[in-house]
A and B are shown apart, each in its own frame.
Chain A
Amino acid sequence: MSRDAMRKLQDERLRELVARVYNNVPFYHRKMEEAGVKPSDIHGIDDIVKLPFTYKQDLRDNYPFGLFAVPMKDIVRVHGSSGTTGKPTTVGYTKNDIQTWKEVVARCFTMSGIDSHDIVQVSYGYGLFTGGLGAHYGAEEIGCSVIPISGGNTRRQLQLMADFGSTVLACTPSYALHLADAMSEFGYSLSDMKLRVGVFGAEPWTVNMRKELERKWNITAHDIYGLSEIMGPGVANDCIYHNGLHIHEDHFFPEIVDPETKEPVPYGQEGELVFTTLTKEGIPLIRYNTRDLSSLYYDKCECGRTTVRMEKITGRSDDMLIIRGVNLFPSQIEHVLLDLQETSAHYILYVDRKNNLDTLELQVELDENKLTDTIRDLQNLSRKIEHALNSAIGLSVKVTLVEPKTIARSEGKATRVVDKRTKE
């Protein structure tokens, strides 16, 4: 498709989208009134800058279904991700949305050199998280044989990979590395495996990490980008030339804006990645700010595709951490501590990577009134905090109690997180 033809398609789709959300989503109706913009002001894709942004907080404020543009009878699927207040952000899909999702994931897989002969082991988590089912439907759409093993249970992952002769692995890059390193421990070697392609995503990873995975598995590894707010996995993917990720811009229109001013940045410059879901029916989002940092390239790729490409994500413009594919804001930790009232809310979160898996250690100041003369009471206290954190954020955290008033208080923004994961 030529860039001109793509533009025309985007012009049409944006006009249709804006009219749809203006009429069907009170939140957008109000936002557009406030911004003084009407559907008739949107003539084409260039007018997108007149529209207001959408943020994650807007999804939380409208929890659970407030931003849906269709009645629930037309929603066939709901997914979600965890949020700072313990409330997840929820997204809904119509039948057409599921069809679109299959289509874009199928494109990503095809771009990664996968076809109907492949046996795809989906080791992303299945459930509210979009990773598992997203990859699953896309692989089925191509006609692959899908193994819906979900995440975890390393021994079984390796056994089925060997026994079934999986040729494609879809999971987070850190889990792929963990599986590679666990092979020898469970008595397997590369010669037992038929793996040839990896499609890894749900967390940022570097080019060096890609090379390491390709070497350890003897595969070609591809980066699949996505987020549940926009669709789930399948928003973009890198082709065999790995020159950035091709965005499926007929469905997801990308912009890059300055993190401070929120103004569009010049061509090729880094900023916050913003998406507008041109075709989504269930929960269409206008100018959703992902807070992921990237840049865009419009020149034709060596592979022949003309779609816009985004640079591999280099970081975040907020303090969100991605731990084993799960989004975590430090404020979530604070909420749990404040709710429990068992310790002070002064803490430091240490993030590390052991055996290629992310680990969390929370050091929190003991409240002197909770000090007893038996160790058991303190251990019960740690365990109680660990349980509360686990159920609130879905991650296991090791809690260590430290002496009161020993965690540094700073005048400005306190250092709450120490991320010791190696940055290649």
Chain B
Amino acid sequence: MTIRQLSVFMENKPGYLNEVLAVLARNNININALTIADTSDYGIARILVSDPQLALDKLHEKNFAVRIHDVLSLEMGAAPGSLYNILNLFATANISIEYVYAFSYGSKSIVVLRTDNSEKAVEVIRDNKLKSITEDDLK
């Protein structure tokens, strides 16, 4: 139901993201999804990779501030309204979405999300039999 996501602290400097990407490239780590939350001074890059633990170790070697967090990941249908239908279940259960992003992997459409109440979110997923994505699904 959850997958490991890298959260990398990004200073607002030219070329900073590329330095992170260079570490991943050199170690043959594949990126499945990447999104950046930004402020005027810094950002957080959220990255899904083929080998989170290796990426964490290699980024630490280069003194990046990085941690691994577990995030919810679900498979969506390909039809219009799929994301709406999923998020509507959370809204009805009075769960706030902290952030959400979506990507495609092969023929799958995948949504990753962080809520303000993980336990309740897991209940919603179980009760509605939503289809989870595991890290194995992304290999």
Contact = CB atoms under 8 A, between A and B. Distances in A.
Interface residues of A, number: 18
B19 to A, nearest CB: 11
A375 B44 contact: yes
B65 A374 contact: no
A373 B71 contact: yes
A375 B65 contact: no
B84 interface: no
Contact of B44 (A369, A378, A400, A405): A378
B11 A371 contact: no
A339 interface: no
A382 to B, nearest CB: 9
What secondary structure prevails in chain B residues at the interface with A? strand
Interface stretch (B35-43, B85-93, B128-136): B35-43
Contacts of A378: 39, 42, 44
B69 interface: yes
Contacts of B9: 366, 368, 371, 401, 403
B44 A379 contact: no
What secondary structure prevails in chain A residues at the interface with B? mixed
B37 A366 contact: no
Q: How large is the interface on B (under 10, 10 to 19, 20 to 34, 35 or more residues)?
A: 20 to 34
B41 A401 contact: yes
Interface in A262-294: none
Contact of A375 (B39, B63, B64): B39
Interface string A388-410: 00000000000011111110000
A366 to B, nearest CB: 6
Interface string A99-141: 0000000000000000000000000000000000000000000
B67 A371 contact: yes
Given A368-B65, A371-B66, A404-B63, A379 B5 contact: no
Interface in B37-91: 37-39, 41-44, 46, 63-67, 69, 71
Contacts of A422: none
B98 interface: yes
B73 to A, nearest CB: 13
Contacts of A406: 11
A402 B39 contact: no
Nearest to B99: A374
Interface string A219-262: 00000000000000000000000000000000000000000000
Contacts of B114: 373-374
B69 A372 contact: yes
Interface string A353-366: 00000000000001
Contacts of B64: 403
A376 to B, nearest CB: 7
B7 A379 contact: no
Interface of A: 366, 368-369, 371-376, 378-379, 400-406
